[in-house]
Chains A and B, each alone.
Chain A
């Protein structure tokens, strides 16, 4: 690294240290409300019920099935109705099992063969966690690599009930482990959207128009 790059580092850190020798003046103008003790968020009842209602609110399509096999079948029937384009699937043993179902009459690519393409129509991945509080899905680059969740118009996530955690606090505690192994993670809550034109909500800005979570209860 050239010397010039290091000089900025030392200069900035020196200025920071010199500045911090004087503690900050704490601002508390009269009339400031103090919260006192108490929970920030209301308690979460049944996580699955909460997850279900949050999905309605954030426009995630949720399908609850009785087994992983049933989830695979549900994914296949969505594929059958979905628009043209390659199907991109996370290279995981449990998804490899369904290769014949997914690939019927469609070109199918596994994540180990490189990222999704411009023409990819549907991506299918697993997840790290689901969060009931917001109806969110936490994915990492272990879930089919970067881009597997955002590159195609449709993203299907296959998850199991024991991956569902009640709140974001718990989810972030459990994120330390995947964060240490992956260079990319994303907490996804609903499908891509924008309200940049007159605050009118439009789905599918860059990422998927549809996010479908298939959750098996087994």
Chain B
């Protein structure tokens, strides 16, 4: 077992026993569930909405080259620059160079999972640049020097008492746990940053090909200030974010909001596609879009799992997942957590090191059921398990054991025979007092659960007896 896998198991055991954590997450998830039920009620036909979104994303991904080029030329026509980055390193370097060229000291940054993926903020801070996370949740975890806990709600794991303590320590002059006053304190700090920053960095929820616009969704309005006030605006997005038409947003925006937070639609759905135009009175002098590959084309080359690129990062699968709800976002140790993260991470960072995430699932399918673009998430977890077995070196003993298992399951007679032997051995062990000890083969199951009574008759015998007269 790799150390990332051991670390994952250790943290998972720790977090699932942390009652305070459990309570905070449950409270958050309950309020999310209630909001989503509300948001869904705005649709007459939610399944039709999902199918439409799936069709839009499928069209975009199946013609990705075409739509990326279309997006690029539309952005260039508005006077923007497009940079294609094969790796996170190239993307970071481009932004670091751009900041150096313009002597940037302060950056206002909106929430971007891609920026997290490529560790952008640390690379800029290393150059002595102040990077201000302007999404409130992201600002909070930045002050704590933590990665985001959740794709949509980065500070979901913190109570307001913890946030109050944090602000008291880091912002100075504030001693309150009133959410309104805490927000005001953050607003004041960040407002200064917005008006000082020479560069604004945002992600993009969608890249609109036919109009060359980046669509950025927020509730706070932080992205709007970030694309307005600094003299340079940089958008960083994965290549899979492209959608064919502006018109597609008429369904994608409401679906993103109702899956992400349960709102009918988010407060600010911003579209931005260039620097300040000649007739416009405000906006940046330069506009750059970075299109990031970083492993995405490998996923594209896998016809079986290509649809994973349809993901719109709404976070619904995290919220629905019984594993996420118990172990929390940080336990995964990855940028993308929850079911989508467990599917995606092995592709982005290596199957061998992250195959354990494919088992961080009960395969209940709650994730696939809520996914607004209908990604078959739990089946992709199964495929990752299969691929890990095929590609990575599994111990010969494991291969042999599964071969035997497959053979013994192959006929009713063999199953009965081996079942009887198993039962006999188990009874013999238990007669020697081995139940519950390290010798007990059921120990991993019974460690946290009451052991069931071994029935005196097998299922086959019971079936025969009960159906004897029919």
Contact = CB atoms under 8 A, between A and B. Distances in A.
Contact of B220 (A113, A172, A199, A206): A206
Contacts of B467: none
A191 B183 CA distance: 15
Given A189-B266, A193-B267, A184 B47 contact: no
A147 B466 CA distance: 77
Contact of A189 (B64, B155, B187, B267): B267
A218 interface: no
A100 interface: no
B68 A172 contact: no
Contacts of B307: 24, 27
A180 B84 CA distance: 24
B155 A197 contact: yes
Contacts of A9: 84
A206 B225 contact: yes
A173 B247 contact: yes
Q: How large is the interface on A (under 10, 10 to 19, 20 to 34, 35 or more residues)?
A: 35 or more
Contact of A197 (B182, B228, B273, B291): B182
A142 B271 CA distance: 13
Given A15-B297, A207-B224, A196 B154 contact: yes
B282 A146 contact: yes
A17 B31 contact: no
B10 interface: no
Interface string A34-54: 111011111000000000001
Contacts of A112: 281
B276 to A, nearest CB: 7
Given A41-B42, A134-B264, A184 B136 contact: no
B438 interface: no
A134 B140 CA distance: 30
Contacts of A18: 301
B48 A207 contact: no
A141 interface: yes
Contacts of B251: 40
Interface of A: 5, 8-9, 11-13, 15-20, 22-25, 27, 29, 32-36, 38-42, 54, 57-58, 91, 111-116, 118, 134, 136, 141-142, 144-151, 167-169, 171-173, 175-176, 179-180, 182-200, 202, 204-208
13 contacts: A8-B83, A13-B65, A15-B297, A27-B307, A111-B282, A141-B283, A150-B225, A188-B268, A191-B267, A192-B268, A196-B135, A196-B136, A208-B221
